[in-house]
Amino acid sequence: MDYELNEEMRMLSEMAYKFAMNEIAPVAEKADHDEVYMSDVRKKAGANGLIGCWIEEQYGGAGVGFLGNSIITEQLSRACVGFALSLTAATFGAENVHFYGTHEQKLKYFPAVCAGDAAVAGAYTEPNAGTDVAGYKTRAVEDGDSFVINGNKMFITNGSVCDWMVVQAITDPQEKVHKSFSQFIVEANTPGITRTKLHGKLGIRTSDTAEIAFEDVRVPKENLVGTRGNGFYQLMHFFNTTRVMIAAQGLGLCEACLEESVKYSKERNVFGKPLGSYQITMQKLTEMAIRVEALKNMVYKASWLLDIGKPDYHLAAMAKYFGGQSAVFCANAAVEIHGGYGYMEEYKVSKWYRDAKILELYEGTKEAEIMTLGKALLAK
């Protein structure tokens, strides 16, 4: 068993880290403060092959799989989780088209996204239903050669900046709930769509989040993704894939917190001695390092299994849960190590503390992951 990354993945990791330090780190603080989505940096990332790297080369991607995507996400997140999300999640929702879409759909929509010239949104969550996917109410009614969509979506990543989106809607209400949903590609400039950017988030402010309203939005039948009535299961497949990316975000944030805390512990003197010489500081740093190493192995293994066609959805849920928990732990420990300075905006750890919490919430709350894993364990 070889735990080493191959040369291609090592080079990808180095390139992503350099991009993070040169293109993201210098502007991350201001972009976060101003809540600005920076499409110019997205275009640079696309030009460097950092967006949609898991997409096949024939559709514009780099073809390096989900492991490559996790490595890129990890390295970009070391500079800023929100910024990393705005780049690696420029494809958010495209996974459904990747798994279930037609060749024609991929040729039409993927190349511009991979180039950084366009962004995608996964329009799933609704005002009254988040983790409760079966509770979605948006409807798509067949009408001639089209479907007409009505409903509302909430907390949609890339919602106000996307060029197209994948929408989850009820097409067959007479069926059992899990067989009533379908998915559609909907272009953002379609008449009847209203998009409203959400402001005032606790963290990841560089990432765009929006509410989307659909009023008699007409979509051609050829924009159906996958099989009619299979939308619920397609969405579960999507989440079981993207949860690994969330864990990779957590990994990058944990690594950044550890690196910054080690540096500060060497520089800061307390009672005449370096802060790092005290056992309590060593304990915090050690626990952070242990979480980084454990999480890295979970993320890389879960990604590798996706790439070889043997996905382990329970491992993906574990990685998502542990990634969010570890991000919150490491960010909290970093603030404590920095003391009062860690509470100030001029120190990066205060921002990382704000960013960390979302990793326990989106793509399924930590409680949802516990339910998933608990049921699986008890079913054995």
Distance CA 111, CA 59 (A): 6
The DSSP letter of residue 20 is I
Q: For the purposes of burial, counting CB atoms within 10 Å of the CB of 146, is it exposed (0-12), middle (13-18) or buried (19 or more)?
A: middle
The string of DSSP codes covering 303-339 is: HHHHHTT---HHHHHHHHHHHHHHHHHHHHHHHHHHG
Torsion angle defined by CA atoms of residues 357, 361, 363 and 366, in that order, rounded to the nearest 10 degrees: 110
The residue type found at 298 is M
State which amino acid sits at residue 114: C
- CA 29, distance to chain mean position in Å, is 20
Angle between helices 25-34 and 348-356 (to 10 degrees): 60
Cβ atoms of 96 and 235 closer than 8 Å: yes
Task: Determine the Cα–Cα distance for residues 53 and 46; give it in Å rounded to an integer.
Answer: 9
Instruction: Please give the single-letter amino acid code of residue 264.
Output: Y
- The crossing angle, in degrees rounded to 10, of helices 81-88 and 25-34 is 90
* Cα–Cα nearest to 60, from 95, 111, 130, 3: 111
Sequence-distant (6+) residues with CB within 8 A of 117 are 43, 46
User: Which two three-digit tokens encode residue 63?
Assistant: 């073809």
Catalytic residue, candidates 74, 95, 211, 363: 363
363 counts as catalytic: yes
Q: Across the strands, what pairs with 122? A: 166
- Tell me the one-letter amino acid at 55: I
Helix (H) or strand (E) holding 216: strand 209-220
Strands 273-274 and 209-220, by their bridges, are unpaired
Q: Hey, which residues are catalytic here?
A: 363
